[in-house]
Structure 1
Amino acid sequence: MKAMPIDAVLPELTGALAASNNAVLVAAPGAGKTTRVPLVFLEEDWLVKKRILMLEPRRLAARAAAGYMA
């Protein structure tokens, strides 16, 4: 899998969410927020019996990301 800019902060992000129920992630377009982060979360033990809520400001981007991750 090709490295993305968001990869550098994923350990910190998953650690923060293991300790708390929420976090805000801000990164440049194309960094991997929509396509990489949810897939990484699926591997985390703290996600068991929880849901991922993603807010995507553009419908087209949301549909494209859903198709890509499916």
Structure 2
Amino acid sequence: MGGLGNMYKAKAILKEMVIDTICPNEITFTTLINGFGKDENVAAAMKVFKAIRKQGLKPNVITYNY
């Protein structure tokens, strides 16, 4: 799929954020879930969903809809 490369880039940016001590928020995680969903990568989307809780954040209505 055409978007798959973009998801690899998105994951790389997320890693850079963490290295630069920029904490991802619900919007960041929801965007990743949406992208993985569009790429039909349910396993990756679920991994990100679980990461939301590990960060002490709460998924919102938009997160659940993706």
TM-score range for the pair, normalised by the shorter chain length: 0.3 to 0.5
**TM-score, with normalisation over the residues of structure 1?**
0.41
Q: Normalised by the size of structure 2, how large is the TM-score? A: 0.43
Structure exhibiting the larger radius of gyration computed from Cα positions: 1
| Greater helix content | 2
